Chain A
Amino acid sequence: MPPIIEIKNLHKAFKKFKALNGISLSVNEGEIFGFLGCNGAGKSTTIRCLLTLIKPDSGEILFKGKNINECRSEFLSSVGCIVEKPDFYKAMSLETNLKLSAMLYGKNPNQEEIYACLDLVGLKGKEKVKFKACSQGMKQRLGMAAALIHNPEIIILDEPSNGLDPRGMIELRNLILKMKNELKKTIIISSHILSEVERIVDSMIIIDRGVNVIQGSADELLHGSEVMVNIETTEPAKLIEKIKQSSYASDIESQAENLVTLKSTMKAIPQLHKDIILMDEPIISFYTRKKLEDLFLKLTEN
């Protein structure tokens, strides 16, 4: 099956600043696609090019194999999105904002449909609340509702967890998974909050200074890579000596008074864990460091 979205060699400069310098990516139908990069890497510019908010200098964007310039209306009808942050009309209620948004997609939903959509994103009972009185979490949810109201195939979320508290982030993550698993949407999510992305994406791309750094499935990129392991112990010297005999660990170091770090692979972690228990040293904690964060730092360190 061809990718639902394909971007080929996209370039965009703002005066002398090259924001995109040959970005290419492809998104398959039904997946959650993570779009990662530091601030200024070109994530938002790419998404804006995709949504026709910005005209690229060169390159091609294809929707189901067709150039989006030739099927802009068809493409945008198939997309629901939050770009940067969900902005709506402050003096209007959530219900009115959602209705107006749907009308611009050529829909005329009745009150029942609007209430159902608000219910889906957890805004039941808040229909008459003015947008200006909403918390950041509620605004984000309304953004989701507006992205879903016309039942699109693709949801594009640009930094959706901006400004959300931990509870809001968990709720957002669950909502995204619900959109994928229950509503069968294709979701593109751009973020620099790596711990959030790694939990939900099927495939991803990391970009840096307007160019691709790496693209692949989450399994390939995360589980095939090296991981850092941190072990807290009251006897670091003794533990280091014993671990050095293990074939599952390398680069073993004592980082702080009670902390031992080492490198291993995701595949070897269960056996390494078993070996360390058998070493019979006092272990306070054993944990692998955030995998995507390490990969991200490694790939973007220059």
Chain B
Amino acid sequence: MGNIIYVELYKTFAKPRTYIGLIAIVILIALIQFGFYANKDEVGGSIRSLMGEAITVENLSLNGNMVCYFVMQMLYVHLPIIVALVSGDSISGEMNSGTIRALMVKPIPRWKLFFAKFIANQIYLLIVVLVIYIFGLIVSRLLFGNGDIAVYGDEISILGKEELLTRFTYGIALSYISLTVISNLAFMFSSFMENSIAPIVITMVINIVFLIFGSLTFELFAPIQEILFTKHMSLWIYSFELNPNYNEMYKSLYILMIYLFSFLTIAFFSFTKKDITQ
């Protein structure tokens, strides 16, 4: 299994598109940091206008934690695109290029090939969230220093700097789970299709449609909106609440897990039962 995972990782990281996402994240974070740095003297007003009601900075000075929180709010909407770029190409890219034939005639059970691809996708995803953690939190702290932040939830919460490293770590871990849902959705479409663009595009269309549908304020749609995965993607926010509603958090986690395993199961059967006719 080690050899197969090595080969899958090698292939993933030999593709330029793998780096496009990572470079985009680093550039976005750097731009945000630069924006804060350039305006640090008038940061109160700047942050208020940028963040709306998410953070209030009254009595708080600009610090690395504040910048990272802002980065996470900005990126969690856009990260699915970056994640889908790699997992959406994972199987369909091989179908498209014809390399699937060479892969499937190796003396390896298909389930092993499937899980090797899944693990390679998960490692990429882990690298994505680690890049956010390192560049968003660690670098921001080095540039702007450590400090408290204020977060708007149902109430305003002031979170002390000594507990923020733990909260960010939990937040990143929870966002990893949310992104795995998107990764598996793209992976599932990748197992159905024979060109590498369609799974990425379809994943994004579903994400956008669900986001828009989830924001419609009609009573009629409320029960459906509750079970859309996009409604629960901001799971990481719970790690920044002073008194998190654990029931709601577990409910979100439970719904995301159902999606995550459903997409993975469908992809598994599609891949292992597939006739390779290309």
Which of B36-44, B52-60, B101-109 is found at the contact surface with chain A?
A: B101-109
Which of A77-85, A118-126, A208-216 is found at the contact surface with chain B?
A: A77-85
State whether B14 touches A77 (Cβ < 8 A). no
State whether B105 touches A79 (Cβ < 8 A). yes
Q: Say whether A55 faces chain B, with CB atoms less than 8 Å apart.
A: yes
Contact residue among A14, A74, A76 (Cβ-Cβ distance under 8 Å from B106): A76
State whether A106 touches B107 (Cβ < 8 A). yes
| Interface bits B260-278 vs A (CB < 8 Å: 1, else 0) | 0000000000000101110
State whether A146 touches B102 (Cβ < 8 A). yes
| Interface bits B1-41 vs A (CB < 8 Å: 1, else 0) | 00110110011001110000000000000000000000000
Q: List the A residue with the shortest CB-CB distance to B6.
A: A103
Q: Say whether A178 faces chain B, with CB atoms less than 8 Å apart.
A: no
Contact residue among A79, A85, A92 (Cβ-Cβ distance under 8 Å from B98): A85
State whether B275 touches A53 (Cβ < 8 A). yes
Q: List the B residue with the shortest CB-CB distance to A56.
A: B275
Q: Say whether B166 faces chain A, with CB atoms less than 8 Å apart.
A: no
State whether A89 touches B99 (Cβ < 8 A). yes
A90 and B10 CA atoms in complex are apart in Å by 13
| Interface bits A101-126 vs B (CB < 8 Å: 1, else 0) | 10111101000000000000000000
Q: Say whether B97 faces chain A, with CB atoms less than 8 Å apart.
A: yes
State whether A91 touches B277 (Cβ < 8 A). no
| B10: chain A residues within 8 A (beta carbon) | 96, 100
Can you name 20 extra interface pairs (CB under 8 A) apart from A79-B105, A83-B102, A105-B107?
Answer: A14-B277, A54-B277, A75-B107, A76-B105, A81-B105, A83-B101, A83-B105, A84-B98, A85-B98, A87-B101, A88-B99, A90-B97, A91-B16, A96-B10, A100-B7, A103-B7, A104-B7, A104-B108, A105-B106, A146-B102
Q: How many residues of B contact A (CB 8 A)?
A: 25
Nearest CB of A to B181, in Å:
29
29 A/B residue pairs, CB under 8 Å, sorted by A = A48-B275, A51-B104, A53-B101, A53-B104, A53-B105, A53-B275, A54-B276, A73-B107, A73-B109, A74-B107, A75-B107, A76-B107, A81-B105, A83-B102, A85-B98, A87-B97, A87-B101, A87-B102, A89-B14, A90-B97, A91-B16, A96-B10, A100-B10, A103-B3, A103-B7, A104-B3, A104-B4, A104-B108, A105-B107
Q: Say whether A238 faces chain B, with CB atoms less than 8 Å apart.
A: no
Q: How many residues of A contact B (CB 8 A)?
A: 34
State whether A89 touches B11 (Cβ < 8 A). yes
Tally of A-B Cβ pairs under 8 angstroms: 75
Q: Say whether A52 faces chain B, with CB atoms less than 8 Å apart.
A: yes
* A-side interface mostly: loop
Nearest CB of A to B87, in Å:
18
| B109: chain A residues within 8 A (beta carbon) | 72-73
A220 and B11 CA atoms in complex are apart in Å by 48
| Interface bits B86-118 vs A (CB < 8 Å: 1, else 0) | 000000000001110111111111000000000
State whether A48 touches B277 (Cβ < 8 A). yes
State whether B105 touches A51 (Cβ < 8 A). yes
Nearest CB of A to B6, in Å:
7
| Interface bits B200-220 vs A (CB < 8 Å: 1, else 0) | 000000000000000000000
| B99: chain A residues within 8 A (beta carbon) | 87-89
| B102: chain A residues within 8 A (beta carbon) | 83, 86-88, 101, 146
